[in-house]
Structure formats: structure tokens, C-alpha cells
Structure 1
Amino acid sequence: MNKTVAFVSLAAGLALTALVLGLPRVGARHHPATPVAPTPPATATNGSLSMASRLSHPYIVPGTADLFVTVDLTGVEVPGARRKPVNLAVVIDRSGSMSGYKLQQAKQAARHLVGLLGPEDRLAIVHYGSDVKSLPSLPANPSNRERMLQFIEGIWDEGGTNIGAGLHAGRSHVAVGRGNYSVNRIILLSDGQPTEGITEDAGLTEVVKGIRAEGISVSSIGVGTDFNEDLMQGFAEYGAGAYGFLEDAGQLATLFQKDLQQAATSVARNVELTFVLPEGVRLGEVLGYRSHQEGRTVRVPLPDFSAGQVERVVARLTVVGMRAGSAVDVTGLKLAYTDLLKDAGVESGASLSAMVTEQREEMLARQDKDATVYATRALSAKNLKLAAQALREGRKEEAKGYVVQNQALFEQAATVASPAAVEADMAEQRSVLQDYEQADSDEAVGTAVKRSKARAMKSFGKLGSTY
């Protein structure tokens, strides 16, 4: 194991000790034991989203320590409800690299999508290579569906990959009907790198930010091993949609259908989770999510939510426990969003505090099992991203070292929760190691990298927005 891996392994081990054992940092003060009362997890429901939050360590010993906050957000189920009408644009890469099977499957998926729509829905179809061809947004009535199918049949493979032009065209078509729909979305498909038009990641991300600012969400689907997964994941994140990675284009129809279902059962948009940090509490990081801190307020933008959709946010905070028997405010939480069922803005809140105890045994006994597993998954996701990058750059042994660290993380988490609680996680790490062992070609490396990064998104907590 090289020095870099050894150093990261040491850092992971220290983080793991803090996570599993809840140890204070150097300089902790000790006082006689004092009985304390349990602090339950906090829940809040005030609209179409529910929020459940918990601390990895609801009890801490005196001194400075790291702990983790986990927040689960869930879209309300709407039994028997009809899906909302949707205003969509499907934007299909038809560059030369899509030739053959991939383009055939993309066309089949688009035909399947047309068949799922009704007269109350609108659809625009865009395909791009070096240039862009479009069928403008139309209501999906029987005669227009026939036009759509004919247009799809005429899609051919040609040219480079002008993703920016495809996105701009999708935006203009969705904008035509945007005011009459609560659900407006672009579904972008690509199998390659942007080679024409706007080719810089930052420029393309700005395009997606502008689309989102107009009330249109963006979902992105990458096919094969050549596309830029970081860029496509960023499109979904900034576009408040979903990201999907497909090794086989034959699964495109299923993914198009899934994204339509998600869009058509939307219950909340413009979702933002806010951490309000008391004096003395510091943010370490929000794992896997974009966040913006101003003073003691940390804002985390989240995707649009469909019925039953679950997303999880894990944050690492540093707190100071003072006098045994006292409570320490850890964070206030605020959830704000547009409730599509109420057609109104909604806010809900909660607060979390930890109790200070001198009894280390009580601290360990009271450690939250679920929050510990969730935090371990988020920490493992950081390692998976590092592993994917190392593998891409040809450092296979280093990449495998990160996965071995993850196995150690979950083994330690099992001592807090149970082996059964992390059994699936351990199996996943074994699968990743196998992928890396077998990654002996550029294509195999590309597949392993994309699998790892998609797994990392789910482990960070992007459960419903990662296909």
C-alpha cells in the first residue's frame, strides 16, 4: 500500500473511531458521573414532505467531538391519485457514437414514452449531433402522437456532441407551455463528451442552472462508458432532477418510464434544507451535497420530490460538551419548499440536542444505530469517489485500498448496529472490488468508474434521485 493510501487509511481510521466510539478530542475534561435523560430523534410533518432527523451520538462526554446529523425527507404517498399532466422535452444524443444499437434503443424508448402520454400532456422531441433537429412541443393527442412517432423514426446518427444546443432547444420548447403546467422537465440522454458548441463543464452547468431558474427541471441519463459522469450528475443536481447510468441502452425505455412517473407524481419543488448552527457548533461538511454557508446558516438545495420519494442528508458537525448533565444544542433544522398538493409554500422545523454525560458506557449504549449506519455509508461514498478517480488514472491498487477501508468502516459500524444492518453494504463493497479486479480494459475501467460513482450517490443519500 503506498504512502497516500496509508495516510488516507489512517485518517479514515481516526474518523471511524470518532464515529463508532464517540470519543472526545484531546483536552476533554472529566467530572463525576451525572444521570441524564434520553433525547429522541426529531420528526416534522407539515405538508407533502416529512422530515425525520437524528444524531449519531445523542449522548456525548465533556470535550470537543464530531458527530453526525442525518435527515430523512420523504414525499407523501397519494393513494389512488391520478398523475399530473406533464410538459416534457426528451433530448436525444444522435452523434456518431450512438450509431447502431444505442440509437435504435433510444428511438424505441422515445416511442414507448409517446405511448405513455395522454392528450393532457405535452411533449417536444429534440435530437442533436453537431446541429439540432426538433419537433416542437405538442399536446399528446392521437394525431400528434402519430406525428411524434414519425419524427422519431427519422432520427439518424450524425456529427459531434453539441449538448448545449440540445439543452437550449429543449428549454425553448418546454417554455411554450410552462405556464399551464406544474411539472416541466427535460430528459437528456447522451453517450459521449461534449465536442461542439459549449464544451466546458462550467458553461454547460450554467445552462442547466438557467433552465432550473425558469422552473424547468433536468434529468440526465448517461449510456455506455464514454460520457462524463460528473457533468451528467451535475446536470441532475443543479437541475433538481434525477441521474441514471445505463450500461445497456436496452434499459432506456424503463428509465424513461421511471422518470415520467417521478415527474408526474411530483409533490414538492424548490426544496431546501437549512441547518442553523448554535454558537460553538461548527460544520465539518455536508456529505455528497452542495451546500452554502452564510454565518451560522447552512443551506442545502434538494431535488424535486415525487410521491414516496426518499432522500437523505448526512452532515458532520463539531460540538463541545461542557458540564455533565447539561444539554447541548446541536442544530436547528428548517425545511422549505413549494407544496404542489397545496399549491403553496410550506416550512417545517425541528431541533436536535445532545446530552452530556461522564458515563462513557451510557454514551456508547445510547449511540443511534441507524444514524451510525447512515453516516458510515456517507463516509464510504467519499472513499468510493476517491477510488473511482484512482482507478480512472490507472492506480488500481490505490483504488482497491479505498474499498478495503470501506469494508473496515462497515465492520466497525456492525459493532454498533449489527452485522445484519450492514450485510448489503459489505456485499456491495465486495462487488466493487470484483469490478476493479476485472477492470483490464478501457471499457471495463469506464464501467467500473461509473458504477462506483452511481453507488456513491446512493450511499450519500440520493436514494430517489439516482436511477
Structure 2
Amino acid sequence: MNRTVLFLALAGGLALTALVLGMPRGGGLPPTSHVVVTTPTPTPPVPAPGPRSSSGSLQVTSRLSHPYVPVGSSETYVTVDLTGAEVPGAKRSPVNLAVVIDRSGSMSGYKLQQAKQAARHLVTLLRDEDRLAIVHYGSDVKSLPSLPATAGNRERMAQFIDGIWDDGGTNISAGLSVGRTQLASAMGGLASVNRLILMSDGQPTEGVSDEEGLKNVVKEIRASGITVSSIGVGTDFNEDLMQAFAEYGAGAYGFLEDASKLSTLFQRDLQQATTAVARNVELSFELPPGTTLDEVLGYRAHQAGNTVRVALPDFSAGQVERVVARIHVTGIAPGQSVQVAGLKVAYTDLLVQKNVEDQSMLAAVATDVREEIVQRQDKEATVYAARARSAQNLQKAAEAMSQGKKDEAKGYLSQNQALFMEAGAVAGAAAVAADQADQTRAMQEYDDAETEEAQKAAVKNSKVKALKSFGRMGSTY
């Protein structure tokens, strides 16, 4: 892309984002059915974060990018932050764990050696009250049944790991199924958390190999009370499929170009499992008349009537996840309250072993003074919205790179620079400095990606960054 084209793209992006982030836009979908929402008093010159609720192990904070909206139809962004409670001094919970390791032919040599080393390290971190099953798969599946991690059994586990060899194709479905069976055999004991960690370096070639079929396998595992995390190693695995495993399994996703870092990810996933505070987490948006939810950025959302539901991962202590939604509202008259959304977070609280629901409400104020809309724009929510929108562009850039369209991919990154420049005009340059640096690094990685291997790595790195920018911060390694 020459400098003239890049300048025009940047200028066009700035004009577009000025409309998106500086002044809510018109348009929208037909209104949905009625929900009663109360109204906060919109008096502070700089709006504070929205309602906070915490009747259980999750703290929920919500805010609007535009607490003041114009008369007529416009859009605003809702951000909802969920944070797992810290439990100082608490003893970590026992865990019922299964590690499912790909040992197909493509894992031969260095990658399998590192996977075995990571598994051995994981065994050393377990306590007597924990349980571990070890599963490895190629065309067939071998497993060590779930055992308490006593000193004697840890030695047995280490010997089993040493005996893993590379062989056969990639039968992911069989590995998942055996992992589930081993976990199920040990459920109901001391452990309140049941977790499966899947590791693979390739695409499924045997067993259930279609994506929908594999997703259904993971959904069934999750429905049985087991959380699924997935770790992709190298550049040949299907990152979209492995991300879907983690999403449907309510666990975490990680990408490692170098298998030498597997121990770190295994350890991190064990830490999340043993400090779990909430599971079966669901965020709901209740939409009042005159309000439509256009999209939940980066999450699968399901709408029924005036309710939009978003499934979230299990939460560990201190884990933070963010959801950003684009919503259309209608201001009737200056000074009047504009109902935006009622929020509900429902989950199973593992600290007190009961179901919890937290509810809060968000409302804006209509005004016919443009300066008031701009001056009262929420700085942090504006940056969060810019990040979520940049994640959409990162996904498009990754798709373009996967098709060999490097210039097109770099064009999406240029659009992101424009997004963050506009957000910086609201929140200050320091607020988006790291984001702009991320785009510069991604641009450099794309420039340097001359080989097919490097291009695949750039694609996977962009998709990981997109997940984090959408708000999947604690569930993306």
C-alpha cells in the first residue's frame, strides 16, 4: 500500500470513528417489548461508572460510553466488567483434572518431548487431595485412570508420561471422550471443580472430524459438569476450532508457537481450576421499549423476545472478563431519562455453593446540546468500545492474512490506528498508547511474515489479541 492510499485510509477512518465514538449515530432495529428500568441521577460533570453489584463471588460493574444521548435515535456502547472475588489466605480447592495430549505423528520429536515435560511438571504441582487422569491420543487412545495425586501415584503418573510415544493420526474426539469418562469416574468426591485440558498441534483427521460434530462433543462434556480448556501448539492446528472448544467448554484458550512454554500454560490452567469461584455464568440484557441491541462484540449472543443472553466462562479468583455491546436508544425530549438496559448476571457461586443473581440498571439522559454529549462521554467506556471494534478488524486482518492478502490485512490495522486516535482524543493519548503500540507491532509482524509458517503464526497471534480486545482477558492465555 503506497503512502497516499494509507493516508486516505487513515483520514477516512478518522472521519468514520468521529461519528462512531464522538457522537452517537442514528438508525436501528425495531423496538422490542417492555422492561421496567430505574433511572440514575445524571448530575456529575464527569460520569462515574455505572451500577456495581456484588451479592456473591462476582463483582459486576457496568457503564455507558454516552451517558448523555441526542434526542432521536442514536447508539451507545454498554460495557460490563465481571471480576472474580479474591479470597485472601483461602486454601485452594481440590481439583479433578484430566490432561489430554496429542501424540500424533506431527508431535514427533521436540513438541512431544516438551508436552511430556509439561505434564511431568503438572504432576509435581498436585496435592494428595487432587485427582489426575492422563490421556494421550493418536489414531487410538491410551489413558491412566483418574487417581488421587498421592506420592506413590505421582510416581506412577510420571512413569506413564515417560511411556508416551508419537504414533498415528489426530483423533481429537476420542481423546475428549476418554478424558470425559475418566473425569466422570471421579466426580462427586472432594473436588468441586472438574476440568479437562486438551492439547493439540494439528487438525482432526480421524474419529469425529467435522467442526460441528466436535463442538457438540465439547458441549456434551460441558453439560456433564466438566470445564474444557484448549491449548494449540505450533501453527498447523485449527485455531477457530480450538477457540470454540474453550468457549463452549467455559474454559480458557491458549496458543503457543513454541512448545517449550507448555508448562506455564498447564500451571496457569491448574491455578484457575483450583481457585474457581463461579461457574455456569450468564449475562443477560433486558431491553426496554425504544431500545435494540445491535451486537455483543466477540461473543455468541442469543435473543428471545426482549432478552439477550451471553454465556461466559467459569471464573477463578481475581479473573476479569469484559463484555461490550452496541445498543440503539431513542431520546424523546431534552432532560428525559432514556432507558438503555437492565442487566442480570446469574451463576453458581462456588464459595457458598448456591445460585446467585445480580441485577442492575443503566439509563442515559436525552439532550439537544451536542457539546454536552461530547463533554460527558465516558472516557474508559469509549476506550473499551474502541478495543472491541479493533478486535473485529483484527479478525478481518487475520482472515485476509490467511488468504495471502497482506496489504488488505495491513489496511485493517490502519483502521485500528484511526479508531484509537479518535478514542485518544476523548480519553487522552496515554489511555490508548499501548493499544496503538500493539497495532504497530502487528503491522511489523505482517511485514516480516514472508514464509507460510510466519504468516500462520501472525494469523494466530492476531486472533489471540482479538479475543483479549473483545474482553476475554482472563480466559485467553
User: 2:276–2:315: 8 Å Cα contact kept in structure 1?
Assistant: yes
Name the amino acid aligned to 1:123: L
1:371 match: 381
Aligned with residue 208 of structure 1, among 198, 203, 218: 218
Q: 1:250/1:334 Cα in 2 relative to 1: closer, same or farther (>3 Å)?
A: same
Aligned with residue 368 of structure 2, among 355, 358, 364: 358
Paired with 2:258 and 2:235, the residues of 1 have a C-alpha distance of 10
2:280 match: 270
1:121 match: 130
Structure-2-length-normalised TM-score: 0.93
Paired with 2:243 and 2:315, the residues of 1 have a C-alpha distance of 17
User: 1:24–1:63: 8 Å Cα contact kept in structure 2?
Assistant: no
- Does 1:451 find its partner at 2:461? yes
1:438 match: 448
Task: Kindly state the Cα deviation for residue 192 of structure 1 after the two structures are TM-superposed.
Answer: 0.4
Paired with 1:26 and 1:445, the residues of 2 have a C-alpha distance of 39
Paired with 1:349 and 1:26, the residues of 2 have a C-alpha distance of 28
How do 1:7-406 and structure 2 match up within 5 A? Answer: 16-25=17-26, 37-38=43-44, 40=48, 41-180=50-189, 181-406=191-416
Structure-1-length-normalised TM-score: 0.95
Name the amino acid aligned to 1:401: G
Task: Kindly state the Cα deviation for residue 6 of structure 1 after the two structures are TM-superposed.
Answer: 12
User: 2:275–2:316: 8 Å Cα contact kept in structure 1?
Assistant: yes
Name the amino acid aligned to 2:183: V
Paired with 2:399 and 2:283, the residues of 1 have a C-alpha distance of 29
What secondary structure sits across from 1:198 in the alignment?
coil
Paired with 1:87 and 1:246, the residues of 2 have a C-alpha distance of 25
Task: Kindly state the Cα deviation for residue 23 of structure 1 after the two structures are TM-superposed.
Answer: 3.8
Residues 318-370 of structure 1: per-residue CA shift (max 9 Å, x gap): 11111001000000000000000010000011100000111111111100000
Paired with 1:21 and 1:219, the residues of 2 have a C-alpha distance of 39
User: 2:295–2:327: 8 Å Cα contact kept in structure 1?
Assistant: yes
User: 1:135–1:151: 8 Å Cα contact kept in structure 2?
Assistant: yes
Residues 62-113 of structure 1: per-residue CA shift (max 9 Å, x gap): 1111110000000000011111000000000001111111100000000001
Q: 1:328/1:95 Cα in 2 relative to 1: closer, same or farther (>3 Å)?
A: same
Task: Kindly state the Cα deviation for residue 24 of structure 1 after the two structures are TM-superposed.
Answer: 4.3
Task: Kindly state the Cα deviation for residue 178 of structure 1 after the two structures are TM-superposed.
Answer: 1.4
What secondary structure sits across from 1:156 in the alignment?
coil
Task: Kindly state the Cα deviation for residue 438 of structure 1 after the two structures are TM-superposed.
Answer: 1.0
Name the amino acid aligned to 1:194: P
Paired with 1:416 and 1:377, the residues of 2 have a C-alpha distance of 14
Number of residue pairs aligned between Structure 1 and Structure 2:
458
Paired with 1:241 and 1:67, the residues of 2 have a C-alpha distance of 30
Paired with 1:19 and 1:355, the residues of 2 have a C-alpha distance of 18
Residues 88-139 of structure 1: per-residue CA shift (max 9 Å, x gap): 0000000111111110000000000100011101000000001000001011
What secondary structure sits across from 2:177 in the alignment?
helix
Task: Kindly state the Cα deviation for residue 441 of structure 1 after the two structures are TM-superposed.
Answer: 1.0
Paired with 1:327 and 1:227, the residues of 2 have a C-alpha distance of 50
What secondary structure sits across from 1:179 in the alignment?
coil
Q: 1:26/1:78 Cα in 2 relative to 1: closer, same or farther (>3 Å)?
A: closer
Paired with 1:317 and 1:365, the residues of 2 have a C-alpha distance of 20
Paired with 2:179 and 2:27, the residues of 1 have a C-alpha distance of 56
Aligned with residue 473 of structure 2, among 457, 460, 463: 463
Paired with 1:357 and 1:138, the residues of 2 have a C-alpha distance of 64
Q: 1:423/1:82 Cα in 2 relative to 1: closer, same or farther (>3 Å)?
A: same
Residues 301-331 of structure 1: per-residue CA shift (max 9 Å, x gap): 0000000000000000011111001000000
Q: 1:207/1:368 Cα in 2 relative to 1: closer, same or farther (>3 Å)?
A: same
User: 2:76–2:329: 8 Å Cα contact kept in structure 1?
Assistant: yes
What secondary structure sits across from 2:132 in the alignment?
strand
Paired with 2:74 and 2:94, the residues of 1 have a C-alpha distance of 50
Name the amino acid aligned to 1:80: G
What secondary structure sits across from 1:166 in the alignment?
helix
Paired with 2:224 and 2:472, the residues of 1 have a C-alpha distance of 24
Task: Kindly state the Cα deviation for residue 177 of structure 1 after the two structures are TM-superposed.
Answer: 1.2
Q: 1:54/1:10 Cα in 2 relative to 1: closer, same or farther (>3 Å)?
A: same
Paired with 1:93 and 1:139, the residues of 2 have a C-alpha distance of 23
What secondary structure sits across from 1:66 in the alignment?
strand
What secondary structure sits across from 2:461 in the alignment?
helix
User: 2:391–2:467: 8 Å Cα contact kept in structure 1?
Assistant: yes
User: 1:37–1:355: 8 Å Cα contact kept in structure 2?
Assistant: no
What secondary structure sits across from 2:382 in the alignment?
helix
Residues 197-228 of structure 1: per-residue CA shift (max 9 Å, x gap): 11111000000000000000000000010000
Paired with 2:304 and 2:130, the residues of 1 have a C-alpha distance of 41
Task: Kindly state the Cα deviation for residue 380 of structure 1 after the two structures are TM-superposed.
Answer: 0.2
User: 1:22–1:67: 8 Å Cα contact kept in structure 2?
Assistant: no
Q: 1:354/1:159 Cα in 2 relative to 1: closer, same or farther (>3 Å)?
A: same
Q: 1:36/1:111 Cα in 2 relative to 1: closer, same or farther (>3 Å)?
A: closer
Residues 274-303 of structure 1: per-residue CA shift (max 9 Å, x gap): 000001101110000111000110000000
Q: 1:262/1:155 Cα in 2 relative to 1: closer, same or farther (>3 Å)?
A: same
Moved more, 9-18 or 175-184: 9-18
Residues 426-466 of structure 1: per-residue CA shift (max 9 Å, x gap): 00000100111111111001100000000000000000000
User: 1:24–1:61: 8 Å Cα contact kept in structure 2?
Assistant: no
Paired with 1:292 and 1:402, the residues of 2 have a C-alpha distance of 28
Paired with 1:414 and 1:265, the residues of 2 have a C-alpha distance of 36
User: 1:388–1:449: 8 Å Cα contact kept in structure 2?
Assistant: yes
User: 1:19–1:372: 8 Å Cα contact kept in structure 2?
Assistant: no
